[in-house]
Structure 1
Amino acid sequence: MRSSHDDPAGDATALYPFLTTSEGDVEAVLRDVQQSTRDKAREILELRSHVRHHEGEKLVDCATAMAEGFRAGGRLLAFGNGGSSTDAQDMASLFLHPGPDERPLPAIGLTSDIAVVTALCNDVGFDVIFARQIGAFGRRHDIAVGMSTSGNSPNLLRGFDEAHRRGLLTIGIAGYEGGRMAESDSVDHLFVVPSPSVHRIQEAQTTLYHALWELTLRCLADEQQTAETVQEPARASEEIGT
């Protein structure tokens, strides 16, 4: 039996059925494009709703732990391969350089330095590109976030092992059924986007780490507000005493 990966034309037809429409029937092509767009939009909306329903409480718990790490001086270390590498860099940028009214938080994308990545690949091996960097940069209270559509990437798993060994908070974001990430004792918080489509997985994962960012900022803001509320009576007592 042939895999769908052996038939690029079949893959394209499944993703974009309008490509098989007769060349002369423009209206039919436009109808198929519209229907394909609606189907994909419906799929991602349903998937995001599923993730919110099943992972909502876990997201809050994870964001609370992340806020504790940042408050103690920790940094975010984000990593992934391919498209997930781009998402990891986007996540690091989101924390480090948010909007003008948001609080920036220290974050590093472990695939941003191509000289380091290629040196490790060439001199040691592809499987260590994250573990070596976490070994060099990682310290207590840091937060290691690894992204993968399959959850099976060996270099992510080794990165998680190194992060766990060093006492970092570890967060995995995977697709399908979680892969080997779901079996790892080195991942403290795991979020799985249950879809067979890499495209829908990555779209939902983007929403997921944006939610983590927003919740983390909210936790930090709530803690700051609580601290200020507690300090106010103390200041008032000092003023009365003087």
Structure 2
Amino acid sequence: MRDLYPFLYSGDPGSGAGGGLGDVLDDVRRSTVDKANEIVALRRLVLERDGARMASCAERMAEVFRAGGRLFTFGNGGSSTDAQDVAALFLNPGRDARPLPALALTTDVAVVTALSNDVGFEVAFARQLAAFGRPGDIAFGLSTSGNSVNLIRAFEEAMRRGMLTVGMAGYTGGQMAGLEGLDHLFVVPSPSVHRIQEAQTTVFHVLWELIQEAL
């Protein structure tokens, strides 16, 4: 262990001045507490600001599912993983909840890479919505910046097809905040990608719970 991480064992661990293991662990503890407090405060802020809009969005999504509509999710990078989490949550919620039709547009590597290679990455989700989307379905896109071109194109395609559109972004919303016709947008006001994604996870779990109650 000392060979792998010699900096942890430098100086006197308990001296507070030598930068030893004790000081490093103290810094880690303080950082962990600070981050936990930060995300709790951010989640509270989002709930206070957007709670009523979450309820409205959930009711509208529940109406879509009652009518036989489907949920399509998408995002890039870490948001791609979150999009898959959303789809899995709706489709496989456990024994005591109602499964709902949901598909993540990020999971088929052959389709995503074919569209990206042959046409352009900006259409990786829009082309899939053009093929699968129907009026009354849901397009659910997640981004930390709100500036992902392929999400903007996907939302534009979804709106052309009469789909319900739900977006999540961070910072101040980016281009998604200026996208005319977007039905619902939830912006997490933070400059930290990590805190944004953590709060977005809370938002879509709240939406799911409200939808289950509505159904």
Please say whether Structure 1 and Structure 2 have the same fold, judged by a TM-score greater than 0.5. yes
| Residues 1:113 and 2:108 are matched in the alignment | yes
| Residues 1:97 and 2:92 are matched in the alignment | yes
Number of residue pairs the alignment of both structures matches = 201
SS of the residue aligned with 2:100? Answer: coil
**Of the candidates 154, 162, 173, which is equivalent to residue 157 of structure 2?**
162
Stretches of structure 1 lacking an aligned partner (at least 5 in a row):
1-19, 221-242
Tell whether the 8 Å contact from 1:144 to 1:163 is kept in structure 2 after alignment.
Answer: yes
Give 1:44's aligned amino acid: I
Q: How much has 1:99 moved relative to structure 2?
A: 1.2
Q: Deviations over 1:36-94 (max 9, x none)?
A: 00000000000000000000000000000000000000000000000000000000000
Q: How much has 1:186 moved relative to structure 2?
A: 3.2
- The separation in 1 between residues aligned to 2:132 and 2:181, in whole angstroms, is 18
Aligned to 1:219: 214
SS of the residue aligned with 1:162? Answer: helix
Moved over 4 A (4+): none
Q: How much has 1:187 moved relative to structure 2?
A: 1.2
Seq. identity, %: 65
Q: How much has 1:160 moved relative to structure 2?
A: 0.2
Q: How much has 1:21 moved relative to structure 2?
A: 8.0
| Residues 1:23 and 2:32 are matched in the alignment | no
Aligned to 1:173: 168
The alignment's C-alpha RMSD in Å is: 1.2
SS of the residue aligned with 1:53? Answer: helix
SS of the residue aligned with 1:40? Answer: helix
Higher helix share: 1
- The separation in 1 between residues aligned to 2:181 and 2:157, in whole angstroms, is 8
Tell whether the 8 Å contact from 1:150 to 1:175 is kept in structure 2 after alignment.
Answer: yes
Larger Rg over CA atoms = 1
Q: Deviations over 1:86-130 (max 9, x none)?
A: 000000000000111110000000001111000001111000011
- The separation in 1 between residues aligned to 2:65 and 2:136, in whole angstroms, is 7
Aligned to 2:29: 34
Aligned to 2:120: 125
- The separation in 1 between residues aligned to 2:24 and 2:124, in whole angstroms, is 45
- The separation in 1 between residues aligned to 2:65 and 2:97, in whole angstroms, is 15
Aligned to 1:194: 189
- The separation in 2 between residues aligned to 1:177 and 1:211, in whole angstroms, is 21
Aligned to 1:6: none
Stretches of structure 2 lacking an aligned partner (at least 5 in a row):
1-6, 12-19
Calculate the TM-score normalised by the size of structure 2: 0.91
Give 1:203's aligned amino acid: E
Q: Deviations over 1:174-230 (max 9, x none)?
A: 00000000000131100000000000000000111011111111111xxxxxxxxxx
- The separation in 1 between residues aligned to 2:154 and 2:9, in whole angstroms, is 49
